[in-house]
């Protein structure tokens, strides 16, 4: 079982909890503070800090409310 949990935020980012590394298309890792318990990955496309969420989903009209049940 993985120690990583990905939470789908309603109308927001994917919040990734656990020890993860985010690699760009050239194979380089984005810097993430070692003591950071979670990161938020943008899925609306509006962030100015992609691949990370910067809160822009709140004002761009992004809609996402998938459920697993």
Positions in the binding site for ligand FES (CB under 6 A): 12-13, 42-44, 46-47, 53-57
Q: Which is nearer to ligand FES, 1 or 36 (CB)?
A: 36
Q: Least distance (Å) from ligand FES to the CB of residue 68?
A: 19
Q: Least distance (Å) from ligand FES to the CB of residue 3?
A: 23
Q: Least distance (Å) from ligand FES to the CB of residue 56?
A: 4
Residue 6, H or E segment: strand 5-8
Supply the DSSP symbol for 28. Answer: P
* Beta-carbon contacts of residue 37 (< 8 Å; ≥ 6 apart): 17
């Amino acid at each position: 079982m993985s120690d990583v949990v990905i939470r789908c935020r309603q109308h927001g980012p994917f919040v990734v909890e656990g020890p993860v590394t985010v690699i760009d298309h050239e194979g380089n890792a984005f810097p993430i503070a070692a003591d950071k318990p979670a990161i938020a990955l943008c899925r609306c496309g509006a962030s100015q800090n992609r691949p990370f969420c910067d809160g822009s989903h709140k004002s761009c009209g992004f809609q996402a409310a998938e459920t697993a049940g």
